[in-house]
Structure 1
Amino acid sequence: MIVIPARLGSTRFPNKILCDIFGLPMFIASAENAAKVDDVLIAVDDEKTFKIAKEYGFKAVMTNQNHQSGTDRINEAVQNHGLKDDEIIINLQADEPFFECENLAKFKEFATKAILKNGAFMASCFKLVDKDSAQNPNLVKVVLDECSNALYFSRSLIPYPREKCETFRGHIGIYAYSVKTLREFCSYQTSYLENIEKLEQLRALTNGKKIAMMKIKTKSVGIDTAADLEKALNLFKDRSKF
């Protein structure tokens, strides 16, 4: 199942999930894309978004407005659906309407194997970016161990290039967990590093958990600001590109 946490009150870009994406509210465009791969549930925190989701025919559930992270919101959404502990839940952000279906399907396959067969606690993915792109604090960077598990995520430039380094790993904010590991994740207290960086995945690393990382090639643009939205709309104005 793909669950989309649709929080209306974004601090950097208020109400961004309602922005128009070629005739659709952004979170609905993300959901319609995801629905080509798996069942979709939208976890909302506002009556307005709940009503919109229903109008477009999506399953939606109202969640607490005070959740600290999208993962906490998703956990509330799935706990009352009677899912088995080994069911894989994919967390797709509401601001990823251009994430390719092919990559989403590949990620689902990767995550299922990594979590159910290889013992990973969570799974996520990354793309290679150049140094100029990596300087942007809105683009989270990740460094990996030799087995492609995450060592750390940061808004800062990591690794710091004391030696020549032209390529960095840009994190893509899509996650997967089993129902069981999702519940465990949400039982942990928010960590010091999570609060400092404002990155929820650091809660898992702080508790010694393994996050398996998948490398992908994508043209998708995560939308954190109005400028990101303008860039994405210009890039994908020919809808055949995604």
Structure 2
Amino acid sequence: MRFSAIIPARFDSTRFPGKPLVDLEGKSMIQRVYEGTLNSGLFQEVIVATDDERIHEHVLSFGGKVQMTSTTCPNGTFRCWEASKHLQKKVDVVVNVQGDEPLIHKDHLEALCAMFIDGSVEIASIMRKSLSEEDYLNSNRVKVVCGRGGKALYFSRSAIPYFKNGFEYCHLHLGTYAYRMDVLEALTRTSSGKLDIAESLEQLAWIESGFGIHLAEVEGESIGVDQPEDAERVRTLIRNSSAS
């Protein structure tokens, strides 16, 4: 099985403009994501996909591979598809690595790739169990419920599943995806439905269109940088890791 990783990166962000280039203890966020993905040793190729010249030039400056994409890509999935057409090596599965999660967990990527041993898996992603009621009630933390075999039944920003007799746990969706190449192309032809518009979660359009998403359960926090205070939290973790 041949895997390549694509890291979508956009400069414009309502809450944190320019965040791919923010400095995190001597390296930009996009450099940390790129190097962490590359150093996992799981991928034939790792490339950044962006529509911004500043990001393009920065990735080249640290020796990374980067592909310019159109400014009309509505989301990271479309950007992955555009960039995948420029991969130099034939690939079976493309992994969409989140460009705003700089602390890469190799074991998360390994678990994601291992899902494709099962030939029926079209799309894979990862989740972790949380015992925190705060996570459960937080609309910024996407929850997922799965059926037998780890196939997603539904994703929501709401508190799911409902516990009649008090909160027990929930599964948080960690956001990194992997797709078989033919499925990735097909996803770019899906139409939005009522559910993904309501929740602002593109994966619900895939489920509505009949695609299956299988989830691997992993351990360890995945920290997304959505606003400046998140970046400071990551800097603290990097400093503490370097000191230990």
- TM-score (structure 2 length as normaliser): 0.90
Q: Give the match for residue 82 of structure 2.
A: 76
Q: Secondary structure at the match of 1:107?
A: helix
Of the three residues 35, 42, 46, the one matched with 1:40 is 46
CA RMSD for the aligned pairs?
1.9
Is the partner of 2:11 in helix, strand or coil? coil
The alignment partner of 1:177 has SS state of strand
SS, match of residue 51 in structure 1 = helix
2:29 counterpart residue number = 26
Give yes or no for the alignment of 1:136 onto 2:138: yes
Does the CA-based 8 Å contact 2:25-2:238 persist in structure 1? Answer: no
**Residues 1:69 and 1:191: Cα distance change in structure 2 (over 3 Å):** farther
For residue 175 of structure 1, give the secondary structure of its aligned residue in structure 2. strand
Alignment of 1:8-157 (within 5 A): 8-37=11-40, 38=43, 39-81=45-87, 84=90, 87-110=92-115, 112-114=116-118, 117=119, 119-129=120-130, 130-157=132-159
1:149-171: CA deviation from partner (whole Å, max 9, x where unpaired): 11111111111232322211110
Separation (CA, whole Å) in 1 of partners of 2:169 and 2:146: 13
Structure 2 unmatched ranges of 5 or more? none
Tell me the number of residue pairs that the alignment of Structure 1 and Structure 2 aligns.
237
Structure 1 position 146, deviation (Å): 1.9
- TM superposition shift of 1:40: 0.7
Does 191-200 or 39-48 show the bigger shift? Answer: 191-200
Contact 1:99–1:218 (Cα < 8 Å) also in 2: no
Mark the CA change 1:230 to 1:134 in structure 2 (over 3 Å): closer, same or farther.
farther
Alpha carbons of structure 1 residues 99 and 82: separation in structure 2 relative to 1, 3 Å: closer
Letter in 2 for 1:155: R
- Could you tell me how far 1:45 is from its partner in structure 2? 1.1
Counterpart AA for 2:36: N
> Is residue 194 from structure 1 mapped to residue 196 from structure 2 by the alignment?
yes
Instruction: Provide the C-alpha distance between the structure 2 equivalents of 1:219 and 1:241, rounded to a whole number of angstroms.
Output: 20
Rate the CA distance shift 1:52–1:98 in 2: closer, same or farther, 3 A: same
Question: Could you list the runs of 5+ residues in structure 1 that have no partner in the other structure?
Answer: none
Does 2:182 correspond to 1:184? Answer: no
Counterpart in the other structure of 1:6: 9
Percent sequence identity over aligned pairs: 32
Q: Which amino acid aligns with 1:126?
A: M
Look up the equivalent residue of 1:216 and give its one-letter code.
V
Counterpart of 1:238 in 2: which secondary structure?
helix
Distance 1:240 1:40 in 2: 25
Decide whether the 8 Å contact of 1:83 with 1:179 is kept in 2.
no
CA–CA distance in structure 2, aligned partners of residues 62 and 140 of structure 1 = 30
Looking at structure 2, the residues matched to 239 and 8 of structure 1 have their Cα atoms a distance apart, in angstroms, of 28
